[in-house]
């Protein structure tokens, strides 16, 4: 019979071997063939999960470099949650210190993690007084809880699309790119390229704190010293488009 201390040592030996079978012996008395099978199964589960979360980064690196990276993560990263869904966030943290990655690759990975997490995210229930067809300027627009805003130095959405389709992406010079991520009606994540003005409008709607659409636009016109009538025309068209795309759920009545 194995006592508690012996069982703990066996578990630790098992974990060390599974994480790094080339650098550690299997637990004493274990079947080497079976232990090799365990090591392969555990690593493949991690590698597959990460490949599903970061398909563009994986495609850009290629099979050998990608597996070198995921093997290093599996072997060396100190914390592994038993829940596979938690692994991509830990992997992104691991990537921040990898000198072989370029800045655009780390930013691409950040974008991919946001996109991946959107798939399983639960949307907040809509307010009871929501009117999906309400006038978005007269009422208080309701932004979907699944909307995620990103400001990136590289066009990571276009880079991801190129890599996933098997093409070499155009990285370009460092700039400022505004993205809104959301899910379509089938649950698939998508990204919208926003102009700086559209990004500011969407952010203002998220932070509106009970303002109507008109009041939000009026506030922006004052802050940026922009003609109100011009901004209202732009905002009216943009709000309707965002409602069609699901970013806006409709509006609540004004207070």
Over residues 144-201, the pLDDT tens digits come to 999 999 999 999 999 999 999 999 999 988 999 999 999 998 999 999 999 999 999 9
What pLDDT is stored for residue 33 in this prediction? 76
State what percent of residues in the chain have pLDDT above 70: 89
- Confidence tier at 120 by pLDDT (50, 70, 90): confident
In the chain, what's the furthest Cα-to-Cα distance?
82
pLDDT, one tens digit per residue, over 5-17 is 555 676 666 667 6
Q: How confident is the model at residue 18 (pLDDT cuts 50, 70, 90)?
A: low
pLDDT for the residue 63: 85
Q: Which residue has the higher pLDDT, 22 or 206?
A: 206
* Res 79: pLDDT: 66
What integer pLDDT is reported at residue 29 of this predicted model? 65
- The fraction of the chain above a pLDDT of 90, given in percent, is 72
Question: What domains sit in the chain, N to C, each tagged with a CATH number?
Answer: 4-101 (no CATH), 140-252 (3.90.930)
Give the H or E element holding residue 137.
Answer: none
> What is the mean pLDDT of the segment spanning 64-82?
85
Q: Which pLDDT does position 40 carry in this prediction?
A: 83
Tokens at 84, concatenated: 């596979």
Name the pLDDT band for 38 (thresholds 50, 70, 90).
Answer: confident
**What's the mean pLDDT in 217-245?**
95
Q: Determine the pLDDT at residue 80.
A: 64
The 10 Å Cβ neighbour count of residue 76 is 10
- Residue that wins the pLDDT comparison between 134 and 18: 134
Per-residue pLDDT for 53 more than 90?
A: yes
Q: What pLDDT, in 10s, does the model give residues 234-250?
A: 999 999 999 999 999 99
**Residue 2 CA: distances (Å) to CA of 5, 6, 12, 28, 165:** 8, 6, 14, 12, 54
223 C-beta neighbours (distance < 10 Å), count: 10
CA-based nearest residue to 201, from 154, 249, 248: 248
What is the full DSSP assignment across 46-95?
A: HHHHHHHH-HHHHHHH-HHHHHHHHHHHHHH-S---SSGGGHHHHHHHHH
pLDDT value at position 85? Answer: 84
Q: State the pLDDT confidence band at 1, using cuts at 50, 70 and 90.
A: very low
Of the pLDDT bands very low, low, confident and very high (cuts 50, 70, 90), residue 252 is very high
Rounded distance between C-alpha atoms, residue 219 and residue 211, angstroms: 10
Q: What are phi and psi of 214, to 5 degrees?
A: -60, -45
The total of other beta-carbon atoms located within 10 Å of residue 44's CB is 11
């Amino acid at each position: 019979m194995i006592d508690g201390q012996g069982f703990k040592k066996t578990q630790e030996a098992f974990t060390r071997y599974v994480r790094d079978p080339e650098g550690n012996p299997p637990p004493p008395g274990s079947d080497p063939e079976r232990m090799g099978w365990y090591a392969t199964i555990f690593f493949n589960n991690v590698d597959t999960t990460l490949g599903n979360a970061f398909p563009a980064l994986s495609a850009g690196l290629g099979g050998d470099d990608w597996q070198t990276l995921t093997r290093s993560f599996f072997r060396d990263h100190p914390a592994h949650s038993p829940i596979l869904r938690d692994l991509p966030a830990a992997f992104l943290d691991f990537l921040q210190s990898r000198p072989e990655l370029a800045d655009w690759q780390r930013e691409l990975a950040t974008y991919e993690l946001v996109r991946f997490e959107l798939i399983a995210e639960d949307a907040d229930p809509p307010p009871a007084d929501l009117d999906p067809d309400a006038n978005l300027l007269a009422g208080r627009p309701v932004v979907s809880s699944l909307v995620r805003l990103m400001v990136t130095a590289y066009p990571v959405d276009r880079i991801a699309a190129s890599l996933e389709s098997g093409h070499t992406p155009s990285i370009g010079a460092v700039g400022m790119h505004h993205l809104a991520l959301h899910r379509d009606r089938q649950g698939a994540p998508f990204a919208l390229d926003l102009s700086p003005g559209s990004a500011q409008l969407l952010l203002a709607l998220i932070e509106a704190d009970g303002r109507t659409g008109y009041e939000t636009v009026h506030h922006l016109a004052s802050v940026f010293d922009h003609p109100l009538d011009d901004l209202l025309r732009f905002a009216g068209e943009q709000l309707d488009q965002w409602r069609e795309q699901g970013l806006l759920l409709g509006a609540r009545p004004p207070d």
